[in-house]
Amino acid sequence: MISVRDGQQHILAQVAAAVPPELLPVTRALARVLATDVQAPFDVPPADNSAVDGYAVGSGDIPSAGTRELAVVGDLAAGAVFGSALRGGQALRIMTGAPMPAGADTVYPQEVVERVGERVRVGQIAKGANVRARGEDVEAGGIVIETGSVLRPQEIGLITSLGIWQVEVHRRPRVALLSTGDEVAEPGTPRRPGQIYDANRFTLRGSIEQCGGEVLDLGIVPDVREELRLRLREAAGMADIVLTSGGVSVGVYDLVKDVLGELGTVDFWQVAMQPGRPLAFGRIGATTFFGLPGNPVASLLTFMLFVRPALYKLAGRRRLFPPTWQARAMERLGKKTGRREFKRGILAFRDGAWEVRTTGPQGSGILSSMVAGNCLIVLDEDRGDVAPGELVDVEPFTDPL
């Protein structure tokens, strides 16, 4: 038996480096992982500018009491530049985003002044009010986005605000995906008696894509030794990771381990966890191999625990594990010590606190428990039964980037 943590550490130690980078236009870089820091080539904003529509003045013209009339010497739109400098007694009508003219350091919002023909009457205001300072968003030379960050829409926008239109990002790790088992049928085709439709290849496919991987779907392989050998060798030749489900337990037709022993170096682990015990991990040539269990909840859960961090590391991401929260258990939870248990939970915020309950039956074939749930309840190895009201760790099903 191996613990979840030791398994994760062993796997991450074997996944050496991220896949190589490529240069992409920003329009194709969404959800990719940055391979070099993005630095600001200039200050953003590049000049002091007005935060409101109003009147720019020099602070020497702010009256200390009462009001004062100033001559309006022009009208400055965003995108235009005032050619000369403001002198004492002058104000410039200015639009939001227009650069501050020389000689001005304060802007009156137009709602607080009184315009009288070519003059404007102003009162008290703080020196420097309503001016956005040059460089207040980003300073020239500063690192704006760090290597290993996932590019969300806001990162892309910040990059383009610097005038940059292409970025160095890691290519997407390629994951070859296979289901194994004579009983597994392709959805959309007729099913023979005794067969079940494939669930795992589709939960895993979506999971790989959500993690930024590229799926090479190699379909279903029957429990036939020679065919499995061919398909696994072919898979290893085309991908960074090969992922199978089924065939790693101790049944007569669980051939994955035999065949892998012939093709590469593979360890078979009994992981001290529930659900999901059997797991195969190793290499075929330069390709990392994961053999996940066949039961649908177990295969998805072992993907989350073992494949996802490895895929993130290959993709070049900085953060490999999701955050854990705490919530109050609303029911009794049976728990065996000596293994880590993962229950599917429903997390809700009620009366000022986070509460969690299970989704009902927790069998490792009950995929509807993953559908009903919005989190995992994670109960550590040394923990026993949980009484209602105790705090437990929860891991929300979120984080599609």
Question: Which residues form the interface with ligand AMP (CB under 6 A)?
Answer: 179, 181, 183-184, 196, 198-201, 245-249, 251, 254, 293-296
SS3 87: coil
Tell me 72's DSSP state. E
Question: Does 246 contact Mg ion by CB under 5 A?
Answer: yes
C-alpha 27/C-alpha 119 separation (Å) is: 48
Least gap, CB of 289 to ligand AMP (angstroms):
16
Q: Which is nearer to Mg ion, 79 or 194 (CB)?
A: 194
Specify whether the CB–CB gap between 272 and 1 falls below 8 A. yes
Contact assessment for residue 341 and residue 379, using Cβ atoms and an 8 Å cutoff: yes
- Smallest distance from ligand AMP to CB 299, Å: 7
Interacting partner of 8 out of ligand AMP, Mg ion, none (Cβ under 5 to 8 A depending on kind) = none
Should residue 282 be labelled a site residue for Mg ion when binding is judged by CB under 5 A? no
30 is written with which tokens?
A: 């969404």
- On the 0-12 / 13-18 / 19+ scale of CB atoms within 10 A, 65 is exposed
Contact region with Mg ion (CB under 5 A), list: 173-181, 186-194, 229-237, 354-362? 173-181
Residues 75-104 as b or e (16 or more Cβ within 10 Å = b):
ebeeeeebeeebeeebbbbbbeebbbbebb
> Residue 21 or residue 246: which is nearer to ligand AMP going by CB?
246
Residue nearest to ligand AMP (CB): 294
Two structure tokens written together for 394: 């929860």
Instruction: Residue 255: name the closest of 281, 234, 283, 226 by CA.
Output: 226
CB of 1 to ligand AMP, least distance (A): 18
User: Which partner in Mg ion, ligand AMP, none is near 200 (CB below 5 to 8 A by kind)?
Assistant: ligand AMP
Count of residues in contact with Mg ion, rule CB under 5 A: 3
Comparison of 200 and 207: residue with beta carbon closer to Mg ion: 200
From CA 231, how far away is CA 226, in angstroms rounded? 9
179 binds, among ligand AMP, Mg ion, none (CB under 5 to 8 A by kind): ligand AMP
Site string for Mg ion, 247-266 (x = CB under 5 A): x-------------------
Q: How far is the CB of 184 from Mg ion (least distance, A)?
A: 8
Which of 21, 101, 181, 345 is the binder for Mg ion (CB under 5 A)?
181
Output 39 or 249, the one with its CB closest to Mg ion: 249
CB-based contacts of 157, cutoff 8 Å, min separation 6: none
Contact between 291 and Mg ion (CB under 5 A)?
no
Angular region, 202: left φ>0, alpha ψ -120 to 50, beta rest:
alpha
Answer for the pair 178, 229: CB distance below 8 angstroms, yes or no.
no
Which among Mg ion, ligand AMP, none contacts residue 54 (Cβ within 5 to 8 A by kind)? none
- Output the smallest distance, CB 278 to ligand AMP, in A: 7
Q: Which residues bind Mg ion (CB under 5 A)?
A: 181, 246-247
